[in-house]
Amino acid sequence: MEEWLGHGLPEDYKDFVDGYGDAVLFGHLFVPHPEGSDPLLKFMQEERRDFHASYQHVPDIPPSVEAVWERVVPWGYHDWNGDLCLLVPDSAGGEWSIAVAFRQCPGFLFLDGGVVEFLRLLAGEKRFPRGWPTMDPNWESLPDSPLV
């Protein structure tokens, strides 16, 4: 994946995917795994292609996302409404943030901090992006997952 991306991924994200990927969290947040039923690299390639095609003309793309448009990394998909979770590197490539690209009413939620901070907001503070049902932080392996 990192070879295809042309840059590394944050360690907290890699640890999270390794331990919890190929599953659904909070009832609707799909997180792929490199060796899962929908392999992570394929997911990233397809979702980034579709993201670029769908959002290239959205007028209010956050400047922090627009500045690294070609380097954003899809990492999760919300199957309730089709929202896409993105890893967003800063322009220097050192820090990572999270953006949620809303599909039904195009727009973005931008959050400082990485995947662990995003999940802490969901699980610990029950702060969910707009339109997401508030669910318990259950982890559920995909039924056809080769990992369990």
Please indicate, yes or no, if residue 127 is contained in any of the structural domains.
yes
Q: Indicate the pTM of the whole model.
A: 0.93
Instruction: Determine the structural domain holding residue 38 and report its residue range.
Output: 2-131
Residue 14 · residue 100 · CB < 8 Å: no
Predicted confidence (pLDDT) per residue in 26-67, tens digit: 999 999 999 998 899 999 999 999 999 999 888 888 898 999
**How many independent structural domains does the chain possess?**
1
Please indicate, yes or no, if residue 119 is contained in any of the structural domains.
yes
Predicted confidence (pLDDT) per residue in 86-143, tens digit: 999 987 767 899 999 999 888 899 998 899 999 999 998 888 998 898 888 889 998 8
Please indicate, yes or no, if residue 58 is contained in any of the structural domains.
yes
Please indicate, yes or no, if residue 148 is contained in any of the structural domains.
no
Q: Largest Cα–Cα distance of the chain, in whole Å?
A: 43
Please indicate, yes or no, if residue 144 is contained in any of the structural domains.
no
Please indicate, yes or no, if residue 60 is contained in any of the structural domains.
yes
